[in-house]
């Protein structure tokens, strides 16, 4: 099994439940971890035998451009697109952190984590 990860991908997006959040936007950090069994001999040095982390980044970029009320929805969309692009993937973990969420006090970030397979799918 091979793990591929992107850590600390930073985006400015307009996700948020409240209209002000969708208007003003916020900074987000996205981490992705993907585990898979290579599709061929990894010694062939062929990108088709692995998960392309550049493609993972593009998927995240595209999803972060579409404002949504819930970052859970964004995380699930990212997970679904990875599953569709790479059906041989065994595990996916997507973490989205919303930096400085608009709360009554100072909070570094709020976050969600999407795991595939979920406990219900095991």
Position 103 pLDDT exceeds 80: no
Q: Running DSSP on this structure, what letter comes out for residue 1? A: -
CA distance 98 to 29: 7
Q: How much is the mean pLDDT over the chain?
A: 90
pLDDT tens readout for residues 16-65: 887 877 888 889 999 999 999 988 887 787 787 889 999 999 999 999 99
- In three state form, how does the secondary structure of 19-32 look? HHHHHHCEEEEEEE
Q: At what angle do helices 53-64 and 71-85 cross, to 10 degrees?
A: 140
98 carries an active-site annotation: yes
Q: CA angle, corner 54, sides to 86 and 61, nearest 5?
A: 95
Candidates 23, 65, 90, 98; catalytic one: 98
Query: Which CATH fold would you assign to the domain 2-121?
Result: GTP Cyclohydrolase I, domain 2 (3.30.1130)
Instruction: Say if residues 16 and 3 touch (Cβ distance below 8 Å).
Output: no
DSSP per residue, 92-114:
EEEEEEEES-SSSS--SEEEEEE
Question: In the structure, what pLDDT confidence band is assigned to residue 121 with cuts at 50, 70 and 90?
Answer: low
- Tell me if the pTM is above 0.85: yes
């Amino acid at each position: 099994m091979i793990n591929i990860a992107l850590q600390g991908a930073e985006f400015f997006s307009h996700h948020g439940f409240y209209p002000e959040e969708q208007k003003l936007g916020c900074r987000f950090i996205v981490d992705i971890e993907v585990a898979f069994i290579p599709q061929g001999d990894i010694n062939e040095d062929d990108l088709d035998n692995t998960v392309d982390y550049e493609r993972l980044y593009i998927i995240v970029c595209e999803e972060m451009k579409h404002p949504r009320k819930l970052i859970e929805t964004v995380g699930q969309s990212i997970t679904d697109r990875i599953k569709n692009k790479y059906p041989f993937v065994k595990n996916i973990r997507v973490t989205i952190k919303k930096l400085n969420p608009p709360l009554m006090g100072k909070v570094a970030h709020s976050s969600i984590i999407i795991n595939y397979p979920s406990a219900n799918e095991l």
